[in-house]
Every structure is written in C-alpha cells, then in structure tokens.
C-alpha cells in the first residue's frame, strides 16, 4: 500500500532524495515555479504524472492544503539504529540521535524532524507505541526534511536507551527537573537527546534511563514549551557547542 504525501516542498524533496514515487497528481489549473521544478524532475525520473481537478487532490490528501500536488510514495522503510551509527561514522562525527518519547502529534513530529535535519542529527528514534509515525502530514510539516532524516522505529525505547549507553552514548533528557540548564551542560560528545510529549514530559522509566537531565529556564506563567520548540532549542544548542563545521547556506 502506498503512502500519500502532499505539498510542494515534501514532494520535491522526496524526488531529490530518490524516494520511490509511483505517481504524482497535480492541479490541472495551477501554475507555480516550484511546481514546474517538480514536473521537470519527475519527468526526468520517468515518474507518472496526472493532471487532475483540485477536488481530486483534496479527496486523496484528506485536506485542502495540498499546494496543488499529491504523490503516491512507496511505503516508507524505517531505518535501524545501526544505520544511524553508520551515518555518524560516514560523517566522522560523534553520534547525535534524537529519541522521542510519546510524541503523538504528527505536526510536532514533523517540526522536530525538520529541526533534527537542520541541526545535523544523524537520526531519530521513535517507539512503535504511543508515537506518531511517518505520514503525509509529517512530511508536509517537516517541509520535506522527513525524507532526509534517518528514522528508526523501535519496540521498546527503554531497551534502546540501554543499548545506546552500552555503545558509550550519553542519554540526556529534556525535563524541568533537570539540575542544569541546557546551555550549562556539556553536550559535545556522543549523545542521545530524549524529548517527551508536551504536558506529559518523559515517562518515569525513560527519565530514569537518562544519564542526566537538562531544563529550559522559563520566565513566564506557563511552565513548559511545545515539544517541537523545546527540541529545536536543545538541538541547536548542541550544534552550537559542536561548532559549525559542515554548515550549509540555506534560506529560512
């Protein structure tokens, strides 16, 4: 069964990444420069293109905000944790992994994947239960970054954290009970950053598996941030501490 992705950036990035796209549907009454890029690349890859009415796109995507393009992509194949370690080895960098505990909102997951890609993470780990998976909404929210970030799905996050620690990866949890602020902690070595769901935070056993906890100082009346915002702050502080080697010039 194919997966549906929609939006100009997600479809374009999927084409650039070499994802197996079975068919692309485009609005037969829409012209846009980015849509032209998609069509040019799709034709070069001999991908089937069909021009259809806007209502057909809405029906397939299940929502109105398709930006005039929908693609049928072969079922996403999750990476493995070993693949993530291989990626860090290829880049000759200490492993940098995001472990997500109970992120069930696909919009939050998409935003976190976009930040993980922007901060140069080697991969993201998701539990099979109590977690959003890859989807069209995730791809759209991530602006296409989801096709570039290695994403592993694991049966038990606690066991995975134990396995990471056996490979000399430090597990740091984002938690308001942390004794250090996120910018006081040393985040330069092999690292797994564990982020919990908004409001719920980290599950107790996951929190106990972490080697240390860091908090984000809050100065207002609300005592927590959206999970994707908290993740972005942590991810880019880690990148700051590690330096800017390999920085790409990207537009916001």
Please give the chain's pLDDT, 252 residues, in tens: 567 888 888 888 888 877 778 889 999 888 888 888 888 888 988 888 999 998 999 888 888 888 889 888 876 668 899 999 999 999 999 999 999 998 888 888 889 999 999 999 999 999 988 777 666 666 666 666 667 788 898 989 999 999 999 999 999 999 988 889 999 999 999 999 999 987 778 999 999 999 999 999 888 877 778 889 999 999 999 999 988 666 665 544
Same domain, 25 and 51: yes
- For residue 26, tell me if it sits in a domain: yes
Same domain, 195 and 165: yes
Same domain, 145 and 63: no
Q: Could you give the number of structural domains in the chain?
A: 2
Same domain, 102 and 203: yes
| pLDDT one-digit tens code per residue, 102-160 | 888 888 888 999 999 999 999 999 998 877 766 666 666 666 666 778 889 898 999 99
pTM value surpassing 0.95: no
The CATH number of the domain holding residue 59 is 3.30.1330.30
- For residue 144, tell me if it sits in a domain: yes
| Cα distances (Å, whole numbers) of residue 212 to 63, 133, 181, 193, 209 | 42, 27, 11, 10, 9
- For residue 249, tell me if it sits in a domain: no
Same domain, 118 and 188: yes
| Domain range enclosing 95 | 81-242
Same domain, 67 and 86: no
| Cα distances (Å, whole numbers) of residue 69 to 23, 44, 61 | 11, 17, 9
- For residue 250, tell me if it sits in a domain: no
The CATH number of the domain holding residue 223 is 3.40.1280.10
């Amino acid at each position: 069964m194919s997966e549906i992705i929609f939006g100009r950036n997600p479809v374009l990035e999927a084409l650039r990444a070499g994802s197996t796209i079975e068919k692309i549907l485009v609005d037969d009454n829409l012209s846009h420069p980015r849509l032209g890029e998609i069509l040019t690349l799709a034709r070069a890859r001999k991908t089937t293109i069909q021009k259809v009415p806007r209502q057909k796109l809405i029906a397939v995507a299940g929502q109105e905000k398709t930006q005039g393009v929908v693609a049928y992509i072969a079922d996403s194949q999750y990476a493995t944790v070993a693949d993530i370690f291989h990626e860090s080895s290829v880049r000759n960098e200490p492993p940098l992994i995001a472990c997500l505990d109970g992120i069930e909102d696909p919009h939050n997951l998409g935003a976190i994947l976009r930040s993980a890609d922007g901060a140069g993470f080697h991969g993201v780990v998701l539990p099979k239960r109590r977690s959003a998976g890859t989807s069209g909404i995730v791809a759209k929210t991530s602006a296409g970054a989801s096709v570039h970030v290695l994403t592993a799905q694991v049966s038990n996050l606690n066991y995975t954290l134990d396995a990471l620690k056996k490979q000399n990866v430090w597990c740091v949890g984002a938690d308001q009970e942390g004794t250090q602020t996120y910018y006081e902690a040393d985040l330069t070595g092999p690292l797994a950053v564990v982020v919990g769901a908004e409001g719920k935070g980290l599950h107790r056993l996951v929190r106990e598996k972490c080697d240390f906890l860091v908090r984000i100082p809050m100065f207002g009346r609300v005592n927590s941030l959206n999970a994707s915002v908290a993740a972005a702050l942590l991810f880019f502080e880690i990148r700051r501490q590690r330096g800017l080697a390999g920085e790409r010039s990207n537009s916001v």
